[in-house]
Structure 1
Amino acid sequence: MSRTASRSRATKETSIEVSIDLDGSGVTDISTGIPFYDHMLDQLGRHGGFDLTVKAVGDIEIDTHHTVEDVAITVGEVFAEALGDKAGVRRFASGRYPLDEALIDIALDLSGRPHVEWHVEIPESLPLGTPAFDPQLAEHAVASFATSANITLHVEMVRGRNTHHIIEATFKGLARALRDAVRVEDGAGVPSTKGVL
């Protein structure tokens, strides 16, 4: 059974096309017009083992917020669609993920109940890249993705000083936890006493 999905989203602020293959090999093709965000989405696909394509055009001359949010929502929606009924998935995953001095804890549940706990103190920092990615948007991107994907997600920073490292460790950690949670275990049904997720 193919676990793939694609979706287009168009508003007055953005035009987005996303496709995903949860059983891919980590091949990505990302273009949002925001190089730092492209780098983070590349981490999501590459370390998640997902084939991920994101093509977005947005009003980044005004602000990068609209593009970051709308892309995260769309990626979350295609992730949820590709999961289907979640039969056989491991469902839960957690881990502690380092990048140099930064250390991030991730725990998630493909529960069908969107909830995000974000406990990450982003240091005062200049925006990253050109056009600029405001580091404060990292929380919004992760939360928008998790909410649209119907995931319960906890993100906690254990330590960190460098803004780039903190955000990148978060995206890599999220990717690895998702990779573990979506793994299908032979002979398993939907991992819930309710019978549905």
Structure 2
Amino acid sequence: MNEATMAAPRVAEVQRNTNETRISVRINLDGSGVSKLATGIGFFDHMLDQIARHGMMDIEVAADGDLHIDGHHTVEDVGITLGLAVAKAVGDKKGITRYGHSYVPLDEALSRVVVDFSGRPGLEMDVHFSAGMIGGLDTQLIYEFFQGFVNHALVSLHIDNLKGRNAHHQAETIFKAFGRALRMALTPDPRSAGVIPSTKGSL
């Protein structure tokens, strides 16, 4: 990694306001895994903390959503805003590894996540949660979070829960593996400093 790459801050702040939610996200891709989270959904905060901790990025999320209806708009819009922030922070993608993958176990559960910063949004998610709710989070909304993220981060993302009986464990392995896959993909490749990792010349 050359000095220019090391000096370039990969940070971004994005605010997104609608009639349903008001979301603020700040991210530092080269942080130390610190998070400050307030979405109003405790288990969702716990999962976002896994992304920060295992992705070694600093993430701040403040969300004021219509939770009196349900968590759908809040969870989806946090995914959208986080995706926008990651895309802004990573910039032109010169010098990144581009691809990342991780297998993460937690007791009986095992998940695999693979990500490509391809510039094209795509989500393939094969997860069958053993429960409909985990704390205050509807497990259906985990898909909506990742769909919002990929649509705005412009990544291809494959998520597979390979084993699991406990829904908490299933979700936690997914978010931990997602964080580690992001960390791998966004790590600068010293052999490709200043180079966009594509034969097309752009991503």
TM bucket, shorter chain: over 0.9
Give the structure-2-normalised TM-score. 0.93
* 1:51 is aligned to 2:58: yes
Question: Hey, what does 1:135 align to over in structure 2?
Answer: 139
Q: Which amino acid aligns with 1:195?
A: G
1:187 deviates by: 4.5
Counterpart mapping for 1:8-47 below 5 A: 8-47=15-54
CA deviation map 1:126-165 (0-9, x unaligned):
5222xx2101111111221122111101111211110011
1:162 correspondence with 2:166: yes
Kindly indicate whether residue 84 of structure 2 is the aligned counterpart of residue 77 of structure 1. yes
More helix by share: 2
Q: Deviations over 1:31-85 (max 9, x none)?
A: 0000000001111111101110000111101111110011110001100110000
1:151 aligns with 2:155: yes
Conservation of the 8 A alpha-carbon contact between 2:76 and 2:144: yes
Aligned counterpart for 2:69 among listed residues 62, 67, 71: 62
Whether 2:178 is the aligned partner of 1:192: answer no
Secondary structure, aligned partner of 1:67: helix
8 A contact 2:102–2:178 mirrored in 1? no
In structure 2, the residue matched to 1:7 is: 14
* Corresponding residue number in structure 2 for 1:104: 111
Write the letter of the residue equivalent to 1:100: D
Looking at structure 2, the residues matched to 95 and 48 of structure 1 have their Cα atoms a distance apart, in angstroms, of 11
Amino acid of the structure 1 residue aligned with 2:160: E
Moved more, 4-13 or 141-150: 141-150
State the alpha-carbon separation in 1 of the partners of residues 41 and 101 from structure 2.
29
Cα deviation 1:82-134 (Å, max 9, x = unaligned): 000011100011121111111011111110011111111112x25222xx210
SS at 1:53 equivalent: strand
Aligned-pair Cα RMSD in Å: 1.0
Deviation of the 1:196 alpha carbon: 0.9
Compared with structure 1, are the counterparts of its residues 173 and 184 closer, same or farther at alpha carbon in structure 2 (3 Å cutoff)? same
Identical columns (%): 47
Structure 1 residue ranges without an equivalent (≥5)? none
SS of 1:56 mapped into structure 2: strand
